[in-house]
Amino acid sequence: MVETLSLNVSIPSINVEHNFIVPVDMSVEIAVSLMLQTLSEEYPGVHKRPIKGNNLIQRKTGKLLTSGCSFKQLGVMQGDDLVLV
């Protein structure tokens, strides 16, 4: 069974917060891509930028999450608050 994390993600550009469940071993880059896909389906007026233009920031530390690393490698914990910019 795949270990997962429930993450609270704030998206300031559209003033929305979402809860996403992601595998702990998924890379941030893939997770951001899937988050953007979900958001573009839920909010058709939202235009997604290229993946290199979007990042996740850990709210409590202000740390930019490295796109090539997994959430587990970065020490992201269950219920962490992130910001998608």
Write out pLDDT tens, residues 20-61.
999 999 999 999 999 999 998 888 766 655 545 789 999 999
Beta strands in 12-79 (DSSP E): 16-23, 56-58, 63-64
Cα radius of gyration rounded to whole Å, the chain:
12
Residue 51: its pLDDT value, please?
Answer: 46
Backbone angles phi and psi of 5, in degrees to 5? -125, 140
Q: pLDDT of 53-83, one tens digit each? A: 789 999 999 999 999 999 999 999 999 999 9
The model's pTM: 0.88
Residue 15, SS3 per DSSP: coil
Residue 1: its pLDDT value, please?
Answer: 84
Other CB atoms within 10 A of residue 58 CB: 18
- The whole-angstrom separation of Cα 83 and Cα 9 is 5
Residue 16: its pLDDT value, please?
Answer: 93
